[in-house]
Amino acid sequence: MMRTTHPRRRGLAVGVAALMAAALASTGMTAANAAESTLLSQNKAVTSSSVQGDYAATRAVDGNLDTRWSSEFSDAQWLQVDLGASADLDRLELRWEAAYGRDFTVLASADGSSWSPVGAVTGGAGGLQVVPLDGVGRYVRVEFTKRGTGYGYSLWEAQVFGVAGGGSGPTDPTDPTGDCDTLATGVTATASSAEGPFAAAAAVDGQAGTRWASEPTDDQWLQLDLGAVVDICAVDIAWEAAFGSDYLIEFSDNGTSWRTAATVSDGDGGDDSVDAAGSARYVRMTGVDRGTGYGYSIWEMGVLLGGDGGPVDPTDPTDPTGPIEGGGDLGPNVHVYEDTTPDSEIQQDLDRVFTAQEKEQFGPARTQFLFKPGSYDVHANIGFNTSISGAGQHPDDVTINGGVWVDAQWFGGNATQNFWRSVENLSIVPHTGEARWAVSQAAPMRRVHVKGDLSLAPSSYGWSSGGFIADSKVDGAVRSYSQQQWLSRDSSFGSWEGSVWNMVFSGVEGSPPPSFPNPSHTVLDTSPLVREKPYLYWAGDDFAVFVPDLATDARGTTWEGGQTPGTSVPLDEFYVAQPGDSADRINAALDQGLNLLLTPGVYHVDESIEVDRADTVVLGLGYATIVNDGGVAAMKVADVDGVKLAGVLFDAGTTHAPVLLEVGAAGSSADHADNPISLHDVFLRVGGAVAGKVDDALVVNSDDTLIDHIWSWRGDHGEGIGWDVNTADRGLVVNGDDVTAYGLFVEHFQQHNTVWNGERGRTVFYQSELAYDPPNQAAWMNGDTLGWASYKVGDSVTQHQAWGLGAYSFNEADPSIVTESGFEAPDVPGVQLRNLLTVSLGGNGIITHVINELGEEASGTDTIPSYFGAFN
């Protein structure tokens, strides 16, 4: 099973919260053990699942009984200490504050990755608690599973006793020789930028009083040239006050092609020592998210060598000029399970990732859970930037007995920010009889069989803001409750309950009857042209990617009557990319005729990824994210037949670019009617992670393109947010003819969210919010027109169709701002739009008309939509 890389020391929190299947029986502590053991944990590196207020984890190992660590108020929490070396473990002494733990398990590990139970407590009563330990390890983690009070867990002190140097393995798991203390010297340092006199060389001069400092933006790096390819076991960083919260340690043999050796999340500065094992000549710290408003600042950065520290074979396996092989390892961020994997081990992984990702909208962590055919008794809570998928050819090949679950406790019961997560290609037997998928944008459910009911709202019945189901079956009822809008495509439901503003059904068996406006149910009997999303599956001896066929007039699922029609592509025909791969490397693989599989992580590219070959499949796992650096387009798809682009998040970089993703060059005119380019679950983001800047997020120039669920979002929260900060004109521009789109979510851009210039376009479901942040009416003007319509059909277009369209205003900066109309289109017979609505959210902004000069005003604090049934 593939696992996430874990850092070693303070500041590098490893999110773990797991429920053990059974507690171990306590072992007795002999007098001899007590006499030999010493306190090992005091003032050592310590991390925790959460912190309440300023009660940091370090307070549990500082030897001061007047300070304490406290967690958040939930059961699944953990506290972990790095003893610095392997030890024979004797006992754990816990001095509880009033908020104690009743049930918990103690785990030990040699490497911070593979864990074994060494002690357990059930029914604890707090106070001074001595827990006998039986095992060996360098890392000790206490996993708390049940609180004794309504508060969190709170410890004055957690003290680990044992005999240092115990165990049969090396003291440092990153160095098989037992040595990881040779510091690379005489290295050359370079950096992405330098603030004033704080040059890169100051970080390798051995002087504690000198430092490197970058400009005050994210995506900065400090690079060391070791002079030759050598064995590396760790990278030490001494941060100045301006530290990196999230960063990568990257390796390269040639200074051009990079691979990620370690990913650090939620760092808190100070002295970090990061396990980063491998061989390389170049080592780079790439800052992704700053811990302060300043830049990145490092007193010293050192590379620790394994073995004898000497050179190794300098052959560059990543040389883009040489042949590139397909297939390979899916990387550390893909967790693959078989039905022989203990459920308790799977549950531990699921809980650990959810604890880390429940609230992390914009962090660098990306995760894919992949289940081979079989049955699994687990409950999977799914957080940000996380995907869970079955690896069978049929959804019923993988059964989750328990739940695949999204709720909204992290956000006060409000699910309107439950973005960037997915579930695919499995069946769910809900332990309560009802599965829950309370999501908003960029959170698709595909090829799922729910053997029960399905709720699309949080348990609190708070708001959720739209989602997408395709090629799925729900045996019971789908209950939308507080969902504001939703698209269901080519699926089968036992029944559907509920409606708020805009529920659209295309090719759905068991859909409600057509109704508009109350209830608002837009129903198409069939979907005119579809291709389902490609998916990864286990082909018996290796993985392969299944590519479903194109279909016309589709209805229901593709798989209930047998295997989905399509083609299987072996994994060895894919370049399996890892975070840190350069665009040059990826393009070389594509030029060799390979398809592209992007494993989970963040990919920075300083030149466009060029997809030029017909029928190329580009598939991302676990919200693989491409960031464009230097103002280039992140990806360009040529005007060729049959390219499939699926499961990729494009994140605009801080240098202004004309376009983020381009499909077909300007002026494209090739006919792709028999084999269109298709986009599936393609998400584009401008701001939120960084202050992105772009003219157009997505431009479609190729004719016949099929768009199957996108979210193009100019951020309204997160980092790099502001009217003059994350600048972006349009979210989607369609210039190609005969383009068909299902599930367009396009929001907050500074002009029209969507501009459709091509002929014979078709849109099934559109959800949009106008920009939140125009400072005043003068900033929100389209010439002499008040504001910008969300959806604009070009003035020269003569044929266009659309069904189920919503546009909302929330003028947060100035609620008096007026937008003339939510939609604009030429008033000609061939342009037909059905079931439109506009909404002023809480009276923040006014939309005078629904389309052109037609329809009633949307305004007022009651948030009542203005509906319009048919335009032409």
Looking at 769, 812, 820, 857, which residue is catalytic?
769
Strand runs (DSSP E) across 560-656, as ranges? 566-570, 574-577, 595-598, 602-605, 609-611, 617-620, 625-628, 635-637, 644-651
Residue showing tokens 């299947």: 21
Strand runs (DSSP E) across 516-598, as ranges? 521-524, 527-531, 535-538, 543-548, 550-554, 566-570, 574-577, 595-598
In angstroms, what CA-CA distances link 329 with 310, 420, 584?
A: 28, 24, 20
In this structure, the number of other CB atoms found within 10 A of the CB of residue 813 comes to 17
Of 805, 867, 769, nearest in space to 441 by CA: 769
In angstroms, what CA-CA distances link 172 with 81, 279, 300, 509?
A: 15, 17, 22, 58
The two structure tokens encoding residue 810: 């929330």
Clarify whether 143 is annotated catalytic.
Answer: no
The two structure tokens encoding residue 295: 């830049």
Beta bridge partners of 164: 87
In angstroms, what CA-CA distances link 443 with 83, 122, 351, 486, 647?
A: 40, 38, 19, 11, 11
Give the span between the Cα atoms of 607 and 544, in whole angstroms: 29
The DSSP line for 752-816 is -SEEE-STTEEEEEEEEE--S--SSGGGSEETTEES--SEEE-TT---EEEEEEEEEE--SS-TT
Q: Dihedral of CA 202/206/208/209: which sign?
A: negative
Of 794, 776, 700, 780, nearest in space to 748 by CA: 780
- Beta strand pairing status for 38-39 and 367-371? unpaired
Which DSSP state fits 841?
A: G
The two structure tokens encoding residue 145: 């599973």
The two structure tokens encoding residue 285: 């710290």
Give the span between the Cα atoms of 116 and 348, in whole angstroms: 12
What amino acid positions are annotated as catalytic residues?
769
